[in-house]
Structure 1
Amino acid sequence: MRIVLLCLLLGITPISWADLAAARVNGVEISVMRLERYFSEYLQAQGRALSSIRNPNLYKRLRDQALDELIDKELLWQEAQRRGIVVSDEQVSAHIGQLEQAFGSPVVFERRLGEAGFNRAEFADYTRHEMAAQRVYAQLSAVAAPSEADVHAFYQANRERLQGAQNQSDNTSVIPEQGLQMARLALAEQLSAQARQTVRQRLRESAHVERAD
């Protein structure tokens, strides 16, 4: 945004957002236009509306978080390319077809694509990138199921919290089983979250990322 303001102050016609870079990831540009598109999706996923954000600091923080996610997505896409992960045209078409059905009609779907700044070809390319990135992310962050010993240890360490979340039951023999099942699920999610964080951190550390001011 500083570039646009500088152009205005100097009386220079600013270049379009499509030509401005919000960041570069290993030399690959993430345009301001791409960031603005994704920022809208990011806010929508959080149940926020852009017009409701009055605090400039909050706006900047949320926008920076959206850019962080875009950088991670680009790194995952590049890793997918490096590993030779290919998403076929048929898989892309099937995924887009499911989305189109969810909107109820092709007309509504086309309108929403236009509102998001996509045509069909651009959205197909975007979908291919997303699917490949998600596929490599799942591969890199896969973890083994926790052992029973680990589940029991996790249950003992978090017993009060897990018991408080359990459904009440008159059968006391059921309560420990419920607690262990909850512990198993919670531990598996914790391990998966740690693995995903490790993947993102490793990709960041091995990459050259430049963010625009």
Structure 2
Amino acid sequence: MPAVKAAPTVATRSHLDALFAKIDPARARVIFAIDATASRQPTWDMASKLTAELFDSAAAIGGLDIQLVYYRGHGECVASKWLSDAKSLASIMSGVACHAGETQIGKVLTHAKKESARKKVGAVILISDACEESPSELYNAARELHDVPVFLFQEGDDEHVGQIYGQIADITHGASCRFDQGASQRLADLLKAVAAFAAGGVKALANQNSESAKLLLTQLKK
């Protein structure tokens, strides 16, 4: 499987190693992956507006570092550097336009494995509405993640996609949920719940006491 391409914002290996050495080990690291194929522009815009809430939710617990990964077009899959503030993440997202293409969830999972091998990744968040890849290959990639839970947020109600997302969530001990394009508050609550879990574990998630937190807790405890 082709490697994930580095965005212009990605620093050199030596710079990243120096950066990681300075990061407080209590800070959670979350890979925030979004489907940026043509149909995803409305959800991309929604997620861009909600990024500040991810950081705000985790700040009170221990902080959060996020790496943005997006795929679009014909084989383009890009990873940003690790970001520690909402403004930087929003700035990168605002410069990305969605292009037609097929899903590349497998690349996201493979990239997450590599990143976590270098320094622990607390969770992977994926926002998409489709899956055009071999389910068995995705399940094998998910098994390689070991202790990195994947939280998959599906826009729409495609049952086949939902089954695949649900299986990936089960394999990685994560969760999968659906939301509608107009349900920005539901997506916001789901993202905040994952941020809380990544930063403070199940206890922090339970302390949120929101419907989204309860939904994720139910799946995590399976």
TM-score (normalised: structure 1): 0.23
Highest CA radius of gyration, 1 or 2? 1
Report 1 or 2 for greater relative contact order, CA contacts < 8 Å, sequence distance ≥ 6: 1
Query: Quick check: which one's strand share is greater?
Result: 2
Query: Quick check: which one's helix share is greater?
Result: 1
